[in-house]
Amino acid sequence: MSTVRVAGTGLTPFGNVPERTGRDLFAEASIAAFDDSGVPREDVEAVFYGNFMGELAEHQGHQGPLMAEAAGVQAPATRYESACASSGAAVRDAVFRIRNGDADVVLVGGAERMTNLGTAGATEALAIAADDLWEVRAGMTFPGAYALMAQAYFAEYGGEREDLAHVAVKNHENALPNEKAQYQSAITVEDVLEAPPVSAPIGLYDSCPISDGAAALVLTSEAYAEEHDLDAPVAITGTGQGGDRMALHDREHLARSPAAREAGEEAYADAGVDASDVDLAEVHDCFTIAEVLAIEALDLERIGEGISAARDGRTTADGETPVNLSGGLKAKGHPVGATGASQIAEIATLLTGDHPNDGYVEDATIGVAHNAGGTVASATVHVLEVIA
């Protein structure tokens, strides 16, 4: 079984660029990934592409071959859709393809064009990642769904809005030096608490933005990397995927993320590590409560204690286990089809010392990326290690 190396990473800035198309964004990210890797396009044997709302935002299906063309690649191409975990799922299958010896080079990533829909249109498009029959038709949106999860957490384990505010403040602080981040601006706890409410206890600054952007990775087998003398010291050594019931009312727990726990346990076992080995993490913080649920599901914090992690400095940049040094979805942005691949790109560059926040993790060798779909009805987790 081949070890999967991250040979190159590419990201567009995340932000509000409604005039740019998905193919334009993915082309930019792919160019950067190829330039970073030194791998020629003609060596790519497959393209795996994550995208969620292309039919709604761009009236465009069948995006796999379209994005391969945009990247300048002639290879079989497949689009993956798993809501906000779309490119996380794409990366997982790319890992399997290389491990199984079916390919030596895969281009994998994702993109999303969202801001051209406007706030109402994007909210409606995102809502189809929930159960249409029992949730969407009742008027529930994702801020409302995560508000219910936050309320359930507070009722079961304690905590308050101020604890969530510290998550937002931390991630905005982390995004300040990240030129790819949508929000490079500091906020205070008071800013979060005084911001307009969205769905109690979720406020404006507890929520990630609507974003446009793309991410691309060039993944190779270890044999290919060695044969071509690539500078690729980071490998994806663990992959996991979990699932849960779609509608919140059908779930056993609202204050936990079983899908993320299942994915994390599988990824840790696959890599031969456990949570205590993890030096840093990028987790799916579409709302501040989502980061709390994620770090508990990944065993980075004990159940019921994740709520205090940012406030007490355990997950800050200079904390024991920094979380979302990129700024996370909260501040870096969340172009949903690109997010999973972008998290892996951020971890890889943090581990190699090519990230503006790498000074906080100079001795780090293991990172974990957690990507979730919907209200975490689907989740992928990947372990990355320096193995040069």
Residues with a catalytic annotation lie at 84, 334
* CA 79 from centre of chain: 17
Residue 276 to residues 200, 231, 271, Cα–Cα distance (Å): 34, 28, 13
Q: Is 65 helix (H, G, I), strand (E, B) or coil?
A: helix
User: CA torsion angle for 316, 322, 324, 325 (degrees, to 10)?
Assistant: 80
Per-position DSSP letters for 350-382, written without gaps between them: HHHT-STTGGGGTT--EEEEEEEETTTTEEEEE
Q: Spell 134-172 as b/e; 16+ CB within 10 A means b.
A: ebbeeebbbbbbbbbbbbbbbeebebebebbbbbbbbbb
Residue 181 to residues 15, 57, 172, 338, 346, Cα–Cα distance (Å): 7, 22, 9, 13, 11
DSSP 8-state class, residue 73: -
Q: Spell 202-211 as b/e; 16+ CB within 10 A means b.
A: bbebbbbbbb
371 bridge partner residues: 380
Within 10 A of 184 (CB to CB), how many other CB atoms are there? Answer: 15
Of 30, 12, 3, the C-alpha closest to 109 is: 30
Of 214, 170, 183, the C-alpha closest to 321 is: 170
- Tokens 């500091």 locate to 186
d(CA 369, CA 347): 7
Within 10 A of 378 (CB to CB), how many other CB atoms are there? Answer: 25
| Burial class for 39, CB neighbours closer than 10 Å (0-12, 13-18, 19+) | buried
DSSP 8-state class, residue 184: -
